[in-house]
Structure 1
Amino acid sequence: MATKTPMPPPETRPAIELAASDRVAVIAGSGRLPVNVAAGLNAAGHPPFVVITNGEEADVDELTSYDHATIELEHMADLIPLLKRERITHVVLAGGIGRRPRLTRLKPSRYMLTTMLPRLALALGKGDNALLSTIVALIEEVGPKVVGAHEVVPDLLAIEGAITRAQPKSADYRDLRAAFSAAKAIGALDIGQGAIAIGGRVIAVEGVEGTDGLLARTASLRSHPRLSGKKRGVIVKCAKPGQELRADLPAIGPQTVKAAHDAGLAGIGVEAGHSLILDYETVRSSADALGLFVVGLPGDTA
């Protein structure tokens, strides 16, 4: 696999064309994705309506500069009439939801009891991807079209090639291929989206702890006798096979870069065209400062 020179952010047309009368709601969970999506929409002349999910670790101060409302996870049945009142035409699900609704605190309504709850309960037993697909279907049944963050802010989408001064070495590509294969395998089981390889073999995969937890665990494993003397290594994130691509695309941001460096890794690989790079310039400058590479991998890397 040949190395490539650093590339700028992609400058492509949005996958969907928004009309002047369209209004986009960003359902904001945790992390930087809601901030990036809202800022991208605003810069494109489509100021968003932000629905802040109360209790998630979102960057609320940056989101409340837009028209917004706050909603409890247990009151999600209120989301549907809210979208109607605000005349929302498109919805972006952005950011993570770190917990499940507490059933004892659910706000009862006919719609919640007869429509939402039975379908969500069934989906919960089938995994995260089934749950996301059900949420998308429930929203679209009442009118708004659910779109992916990358469809309205295409600059977030990772493209193929390295974006940093540092480039993967030949041994790093062996790690990238191993981690990519493992990430796809656990993704097919709806377990996680990331894997870490050091010295040509996979040493850890992402579970319910998420990417930050995976990297913290890897840092603690550096002293393990089986990793003694092993240098470099990579983390790779890619979309799950058959994933609902309008929600929960794998993403990296500045925190990923720092955590990868703390774990002693040489770089980060993401699946080009199916992953997001948040706070792009900060990711690139931070990685350059720490000597890490960040590279977009083609879908046939494995």
Structure 2
Amino acid sequence: MSKKIRKAVFPVAGLGTRFLPATKAIPKEMLTIVDRPVVQHVVDEARAAGIEHFVFVTGRNKGVIEDHFDMAYELDDTLAKRGKVKELEALKQDLPAAGAASFTRQQGPLGLGHAVWCARDIIGDEPFALLLPDMLHHTRGKGCLAEMIEAHAEHGGNHIAVAPVPEDQTHQYGIVGVLDAKAKVSQITGMVEKPPKGTAPSNLHITGRYILQPTIFDLLAKQEKGAGGEIQLTDSMIALAEREKFFAVRFDGDIYDTGSKIGFLAANLAYALDRGDLGPQLREEIGRLLGR
């Protein structure tokens, strides 16, 4: 029987240079999609999937993320005195339980693989989820990580969320080859980072959600720097795939890369349009703008 996935890692140490000057003093993960920070949306996905412990790998000037997932006594007191019961309850619901959030530092920009390795002592000897906060997986149904945890419970091993991209764009992504490209869950036969045009094993790209066995940490500890002079997670996953099974879990919702300006703007529109309190009026406003 597969071990339960209890913990999730969130790498939030990036500089967010594509959003300067907005991210000069504000972490990119705290930029808002409507009225919730990007990182809160991803934590919401993890909590809905049953995650019990949230591990944030941070860096310099990221203290506001830790503050966001803590009580704000002055704010809570002010809301209570003003009778803002709804707002106060919403803030309390977003808080992790006492002791359920951990923060560890990645002292240098050494890549995603290094960020994951920094969480090794908190994760310990159990499988864990990894969620890239830049990548929002938007769906009206079951969340991406929830689907992955169900697949892990059935198959064990390691799991990667994937989604199709146009064939002429596969060279821009990490791509996996699978036994059955149309199946919801299929065993992975190969992984390659940004394959040259015309060489991709499929059109299924890695979307920023993973379930990994703790054996990945030993490989990351020995992993040499790869592309961009960074320790690449994909390199260690390829090595791990030689001894353990990897499965692709196909995500059928919409994916927004909020690390890009267009992805960020599109995510704001998509999440706002889904809300009953904002959607109708926003549709009218969009129509007005397009009609100029």
TM over 0.5: no
With normalisation by structure 2, the TM-score equals 0.27
Structure (1/2) with the larger strand percentage? 2
With normalisation by structure 1, the TM-score equals 0.26
